[in-house]
Amino acid sequence: AAASLPAASPAAAPAAALPAMPPGAPMTMAPTSSAGSLLQTIFALVFVLALLIGLAWFMKRYGPKVMGGNNKMRVVSSLNLGGRERIVLVEVADQWIVVGASPGRINALATMPRQEGELPQLATAQNGPAAANFSEWLKQTIEKRNGK
What DSSP string describes 7-23? PPPTTHHHHHHSPP--T
- Could you tell me if residue 92 is inside a domain? yes
- Could you tell me if residue 109 is inside a domain? yes
Residues of the chain with pLDDT under 50: 30, 121-128
Q: Quote the CA–CA distance of 143 and 93 in Å, as a whole number.
A: 26
Q: Say what the pTM is.
A: 0.37
Residue-averaged pLDDT of the chain: 75
pLDDT in tens, 105-143: 988 888 888 877 655 544 444 444 555 677 777 788 888
The tally of domains found in the chain comes to 1
- Could you tell me if residue 120 is inside a domain? yes
- Could you tell me if residue 77 is inside a domain? yes
Domain that holds residue 96: 73-146
- Could you tell me if residue 10 is inside a domain? no
